[in-house]
Amino acid sequence: MKSFSKLFTFLLAFFLLAGTVAQAQDKPKGWSRKAKGAAIGGAGGAVLGGLLGGGKGALIGAGAGVVGGGLVGRNQDKKKDPARYNRYRNK
């Protein structure tokens, strides 16, 4: 009886997960250029700010990098992928 309940639980979990994976394929895969720009800008700004200004400089550099990289990536999305840009713009 225990093996039946374990098998049932396993199959139930499998079908639930398989159903969510099938639904998730409708969305575009990967990061937008805005997200990539923000991540790269934040990392670069943190490294540069850390080298120049220590701990507080790293925080300031990361913040400036995130904003700057996000703006650059947003403009790239606007030009190269207008459908994705309109989706996150209208939220």
51-82 pLDDT, tens digit per residue, is 888 888 888 999 999 999 999 998 998 898 88
Any domain includes 19: no
Any domain includes 17: no
Q: Quick one: pLDDT at residue 55?
A: 82
DSSP for the chain reads -HHHHHHHHHHHHHHHHHHHHHHHTTSPPS--HHHHHHHHHHHHHHHHHHHHHHHHHHHHHHHHHHHHHHHHHHHHHHHH-HHHHHHHH--
Any domain includes 14: no
- Contact between residue 58 and residue 48 where contact means Cβ atoms under 8 Å apart: no
Number of domains in the chain: 1
Any domain includes 72: yes
pTM of the predicted structure, to 2 decimals: 0.62
Any domain includes 46: yes
Q: Quick one: pLDDT at residue 66?
A: 93
Domain span including residue 86: 32-91
